[in-house]
């Protein structure tokens, strides 16, 4: 970064083979957050080859589990040591508030600690085949060379959900952060080196996915691609990887319903809490969250009051520079992304949705150089509108109304995606019925947005396939091998001649 080499290939830090660089822009004020080497296709191929060599000829895949776990714990310690500097990089690159970045680094730490523990207690499975002379067991082996492609909204967090289990499993890898937010991942790969990750195990390239993508995901030397990002890119990657029947896991965002029954807001206190959770669920990180609760589905009897209270609080959200402790949410990640969000707002208006609050940039001249956008609410929405069906990935809440439980469930499932959903009700039986009926990978009942490293994360439908976090998030990086060992073999006796 800023003159230092940023590509890590086979344990050596290098500049791009053609000397190319890219400026990473701080969306809070348009300044340059860092100048970073931009890999070429040749660099991407070299990174895959280095990962392949490290897997086939290196020691990491056969390093005892206890040592791999100890390394993950060391990474966690170093993350805490460097928490402030990593948080500052994350805020400079993404625009998110420093408070959010600090939470991200704590979450990254937990992921490493979790997988250190989990891999340490995994054991082979003995299978009783009813023959005392046969030892039959199922063992886990690393899947091989992994390509890990991350997005820009949670750069280090999303990358850690991939790197931690990949390392725990004994894989080697090529990591490609988003070209929009590479800074924290570069610092992190230095940290991995310091923790003792052997050369070639974690390779790093930065650059445009459109340029490097096929070289990374279509290389026959790759065994697994883990991708988090947009639906269109997920489709492309799945197609390219299919050429060599390469396993793919993709997390492609969501259009997540937050269903509010009237009984969850029947006292002043519960009403305020429901408003608070809906507000946080959609406007945190200015809506740039794959699990953001972007579709409010509210019972008709309370809808008018609920939307009015939401609008009042949305108008008070302090949008500003993430480095200012007074800011409650930062800018959108880039000018281009704000253009996209603004186009969705214009579309919503033309589709006939009722704009209740927001729908514009902040007027504060101090924010003029950043890509800020105000929290926006559209009422009177329905499924014919693209703002209800498509992921806007900005601070936009759409409101739909229902009159009974069946309709609430139908609306909640009426999406091509299926990443996350929220349900608010004081009726426990109804709550259980509705959460079981919703076809989403995570469902919160009377809460919203929380996750833990120990529970699986991923989507139904077009939100993707595969899982991250939890035991399944490690299993993605492991092949199961059945070993049948006959200690006293006999002739099969099938063919008599």
Stretch that binds ligand TXE, among 10-18, 22-30, 149-157, 443-451 (CB under 6 A): 149-157
Candidates 95, 144, 182, 253; binder of ligand TXE (CB under 6 A) is: 253
Q: Which of residues 314-373 bind ligand TXE (CB under 6 A)?
A: 340
Site membership for ligand TXE, residue 179 (CB under 6 A): yes
Max CA distance (Å), the chain: 93
Tokens 């053609």 -> residue = 18
Which of 38, 100, 251, 400 is an active site residue? Answer: 251
Candidates 97, 178, 256, 294; binder of ligand TXE (CB under 6 A) is: 178
User: What is the contact mask toward ligand TXE in residues 259 to 298, using x (rule: CB under 6 A)?
Assistant: -------------------------------x--------
Candidates 373, 393, 417, 477; binder of ligand TXE (CB under 6 A) is: 393
Contact (Cβ atoms closer than 8 angstroms) between residue 355 and residue 399? no
Tokens 């007074």 -> residue = 326
Candidates 153, 256, 329, 478; binder of ligand TXE (CB under 6 A) is: 153
Contact (Cβ atoms closer than 8 angstroms) between residue 340 and residue 394? yes
Three-state SS at 19: coil
Distance separating alpha carbons of residues 98 and 78, to the nearest angstrom: 19
Give the total of residues touching ligand TXE (CB under 6 A). 25
Tokens 């040749």 -> residue = 42
426: enclosing H helix or E strand? none
Active site residue 251: yes
Site membership for ligand TXE, residue 94 (CB under 6 A): no
Site membership for ligand TXE, residue 6 (CB under 6 A): no
Q: Which of residues 211-230 bind ligand TXE (CB under 6 A)?
A: 213, 217, 228-230
Distance separating alpha carbons of residues 136 and 281, to the nearest angstrom: 49
Contact (Cβ atoms closer than 8 angstroms) between residue 469 and residue 453? yes
Per-residue burial over 65-78, b if 16 or more Cβ lie within 10 Å, else e, is beebbbbbbbbbeb
> In sequence order, what are the beta bridge partners of 32?
25
Output the smallest distance, CB 239 to ligand TXE, in A: 10
Contact (Cβ atoms closer than 8 angstroms) between residue 412 and residue 421? yes
Distance of CA 60 to the CA centre of its chain: 26
Closest to ligand TXE by CB, 237 or 353: 237
> In sequence order, what are the beta bridge partners of 22?
36
Candidates 46, 86, 149, 411; binder of ligand TXE (CB under 6 A) is: 149
Output the smallest distance, CB 305 to ligand TXE, in A: 31
Which of these, 143, 246, 228, 295, lies nearest to 457 by C-alpha position? 228
Closest to ligand TXE by CB, 237 or 307: 237
Distance separating alpha carbons of residues 476 and 474, to the nearest angstrom: 5
Site membership for ligand TXE, residue 415 (CB under 6 A): no
Candidates 127, 138, 210, 315; binder of ligand TXE (CB under 6 A) is: 210
Site membership for ligand TXE, residue 236 (CB under 6 A): yes
In angstroms, what CA-CA distances link 269 with 34, 273, 461?
Answer: 46, 6, 36
Output the smallest distance, CB 436 to ligand TXE, in A: 25
Site for ligand TXE, rule CB under 6 A: 149-153, 176, 178-179, 209-210, 213, 217, 228-230, 233, 236-237, 251-253, 290, 340, 391, 393
Active-site residues, by number, are 251
């Amino acid at each position: 970064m800023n003159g230092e080499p940023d590509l890590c290939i086979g344990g050596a830090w290098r500049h791009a083979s053609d000397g190319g660089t890219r400026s990473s822009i701080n969306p809070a004020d348009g300044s340059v957050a860092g100048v970073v080497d931009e890999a070429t296709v040749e660099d991407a191929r070299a990174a895959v080859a280095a990962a392949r060599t490290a897997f086939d000829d290196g020691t990491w895949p056969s390093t005892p589990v206890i040592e791999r776990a100890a390394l993950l714990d060391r990474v966690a310690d170093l993350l805490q040591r460097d928490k402030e500097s990593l948080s500052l990089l994350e805020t400079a690159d993404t625009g998110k508030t420093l408070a959010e970045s600090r939470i991200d680094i704590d979450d990254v730490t937990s992921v490493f600690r979790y997988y250190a523990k989990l891999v340490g207690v995994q054991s082979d499975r003995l299978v009783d085949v009813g023959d005392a002379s046969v030892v039959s067991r199922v063992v886990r082996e690393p899947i091989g060379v992994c390509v890990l492609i991350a997005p820009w909204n949670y750069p280090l967090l999303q990358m850690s959900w991939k790197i931690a289990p990949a390392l725990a499993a004994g894989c080697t890898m090529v990591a490609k952060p988003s070209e929009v937010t590479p800074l924290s991942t570069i610092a992190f790969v230095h940290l991995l080196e310091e923790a003792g990750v052997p050369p070639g195990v974690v390779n790093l390239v930065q650059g445009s996915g459109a340029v490097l993508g096929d070289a990374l995901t279509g290389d026959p030397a790759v065994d697994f691609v883990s991708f988090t990002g947009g639906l269109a890119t997920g489709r492309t990657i799945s197609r390219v990887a299919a050429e060599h029947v390469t396993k793919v896991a993709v997390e492609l965002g969501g259009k997540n319903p937050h269903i509010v029954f009237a009984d969850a807001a029947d006292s002043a206190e519960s009403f305020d809490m429901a408003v608070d959770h809906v507000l946080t669920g959609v406007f945190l990180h200015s809506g740039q969250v794959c699990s953001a609760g972007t579709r409010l589905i509210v019972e008709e009897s309370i809808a008018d009051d609920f939307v009015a209270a939401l609008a009042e609080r949305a108008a008070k959200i302090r949008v500003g520079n993430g480095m200012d402790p007074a800011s409650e949410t930062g800018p959108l990640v880039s000018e281009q992304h704000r253009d996209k969000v603004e186009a969705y707002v214009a579309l919503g208006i033309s589709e006939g949705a009722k704009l209740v609050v927001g729908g514009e940039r902040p007027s504060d001249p101090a924010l003029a150089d950043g890509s800020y956008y105000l929290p926006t609410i559209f009422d009177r929405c329905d499924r014919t509108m693209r703002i209800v069906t498509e992921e806007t990935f900005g601070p936009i809440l759409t409101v739909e109304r229902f009159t009974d439980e069946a309709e609430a469930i139908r609306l909640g499932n009426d999406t091509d995606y299926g990443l996350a959903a929220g349900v608010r009700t004081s009726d426990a039986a109804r709550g259980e019925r509705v959460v079981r009926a919703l076809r989403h990978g995570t469902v919160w009942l009377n809460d919203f947005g929380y996750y833990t490293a120990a529970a699986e994360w991923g989507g139904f439908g077009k939100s993707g396939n595969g899982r991250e976090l939890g035991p399944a998030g490690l299993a993605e990086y492991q092949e199961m091998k059945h070993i049948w060992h006959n200690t006293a073999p006999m002739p099969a006796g099938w063919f008599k001649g």
